[in-house]
Amino acid sequence: MSDSHDFATLGLSPSMRDNLAALGYEQMTPVQALSLPHILSGKDVIAEAKTGSGKTAAFGIGLLSKLDVKNFKIQSLILCPTRELAEQVAHELRNIAKFKHNIKILTLCGGVAFGPQLGSLRHGAHIVVGTPGRILQHLKKESLNLNHVKTLVLDEADRMLDMGFIEEIEKVISHVPKQRQTLLFSATFPDEIVGFASTIQNNPEMVKAASEEVANNVKQYFYHMPSRSKLANLMKILYEYQPKNVIIFCNTKIETDEIAKALRSKNIDALALHGDLEQYERVDVLVQFANHSCPILVATDVAARGLDIKELSMVINYDVPHSQETYTHRIGRTARAGREGIAVTLFDEYETEKVEPYRDETRSFLDTDALKYDKNFAMQPAYMTLVIEGGKKSKMRAGDILGALTKDARLPGSSIGKIDIFEKQSYVAIEKPYIKKAFSQLKEGKIKGKNFSVWILE
Ligand code: AMP
């Protein structure tokens, strides 16, 4: 096995390599360098890899390299613990799949309507990414055929087992041919995982990327404070670090709402993300956070699972997490792919015992006494988000929206941020001073010769 981190050592097709370069993947991450030679040679692999390690591209490059586009059958199945992770994985795979035309990737997850999934399945797909429960439902209804799967991936396997998916996973796997490649990725390796892997894999290569690599790029601070002073101290922390964007983790849903509201009342723009949101509300929140229309996301662990926000500068643990594993997951969201990040954990008198296991030389324990605060401090985003009621279904493309805004409304190109196009809706980030102009243009004018409903997310 090569110890080089250069993609050139892998013998990938030139188009795959060009596309990886276009995505800005200059070098392999440790988990990619260790696992890809095995994956590409067709071996089973069991890899210890956390979110942020580049694991999706590791299995993605592998399964896409051997995909036969002309064979319009499901050739790869990726099982994920949550819809959010499945969507994130599908997104990353679609980026990597750009090296070839017409690769069809489908997500099949619970929590969304069944009917449209049946329709999509009838149209066929090469790759399915989904959650075990919903995949099994499709198998039972015979709307899904896994007889041609060559690569099976279990992503965040520890998490799937934690969530009690083992039986469903076993049933799903019984529909996949025995002659296959099985890749298992997991952040932790309890005995249960090792035992389970041995039942579904064949002589796997074990890969353990230096997981500390993620944590090493994260500066970790623990702030001690008197009880009932967390909110005030949270503001001081924000003032002290003034992050570009930050996820604040809480242990309960109610807290996420309360904190987001309290921050907004202090001129600090924040949105709450928790499991009670409707799917459309969730998308609205995530899009605004990712496109810099809102600098702060206040989230529970479950809701934030699988979120991939590029360039997240900071993570704050408003509560000490229930387990060290959760802590690692939380802080792993910042400092992705080699960037630096900051993780701050707040703890009061009641939580002093809970933070004891975290004391080591890589973490600084500080007191909030030294922190200052200016009450004029505000955290307001540079952008606001416009929603257009037209998406992929109406063949909407980013260029159409860009054209309407820059040519027709004469907005400078630099005032337009990220454009996200979903099935039925599109979102466009616009610099605040231009939002009204953009809104009235899109409301009165046309895109692709048609009128669309438009509104501003506030
Ligand atoms: P993951 O661990 O799959 O969640 O990936 C974390 C992030 O790293 C994603 O945003 C990927 O797009 C990015 N990434 C994956 N591989 C590379 C690479 N070789 N170089 C730079 N970024 C990468």
Tens-place pLDDT, residues 357-383:
899 888 999 999 889 889 899 999 999
Residue of 27, 55, 56 to mutate, ligand 1, most atoms within 8 A of C-beta: 56
- Residue 92's pLDDT is what? 95
Q: Which domains, and CATH codes, for the chain?
A: 3-212 (3.40.50.300), 217-370 (3.40.50.300), 383-457 (3.30.70.330)
Distance, CA 54 to ligand 1 centroid (Å)? 4
Q: Which residue has the tokens 């004391």?
A: 359
Q: Which pLDDT does position 168 carry in this prediction?
A: 94
Q: Which atom of ligand 1 is nearest to the CA of 32?
A: 19
Question: Ligand 1 center to residue 22 CA distance, Å?
Answer: 13
pLDDT given for residue 306 in this prediction: 63
Q: How high is the pLDDT of residue 280?
A: 86
Residue 441 alpha carbon to ligand 1 centre in Å: 37
Whether pLDDT at 1 is above 50: no
pLDDT digits (tens, 9 = 90+) for 102-121: 999 999 998 889 999 999 99
296 backbone φψ class: left, alpha, beta (φ>0; ψ -120 to 50): beta
Residue nearest atom 11 in ligand 1 by C-alpha distance:
54
Tell me the per-residue pLDDT of 173-228, one tens digit each, with 9 for 90 and over: 999 999 999 999 998 887 888 899 999 999 999 998 754 444 568 899 999 999 88
Higher-pLDDT residue of 158, 175: 175
- What does the pLDDT read at residue 154? 98
Cα-to-centroid distance, 397 and ligand 1 (Å): 25
CA distance 29 to 173: 29
Residue 3 has pLDDT above 50, yes or no: no
Task: Evaluate: CB of 313 within 6 angstroms of ligand 1.
Answer: no
Question: CB of 53 closer than 6 A to ligand 1?
Answer: yes
pLDDT in tens, 263-322: 999 999 999 998 888 888 988 999 999 999 999 999 998 777 667 677 789 999 999 998
Residue 28 CA, closest ligand 1 atom number: 19
Structure confidence at residue 360 (pLDDT)? 86
**Is the minimum distance from the CB of 30 to ligand 1 under 6 angstroms?**
no
pLDDT at 216: 63
Could you tell me which residue, 2 or 330, shows the higher pLDDT? 330
* Tens-digit pLDDT profile for residues 400-443: 998 899 887 788 888 999 999 988 999 999 999 999 999 999 99
CA of 48 to the centre of ligand 1 (A): 15
Q: Provide the mean pLDDT of the chain.
A: 91
Q: Return the half-sphere exposure (C-beta side, CA atoms, 13 A cut-off) of residue 417.
A: 24
Instruction: Determine the pLDDT at residue 212.
Output: 43
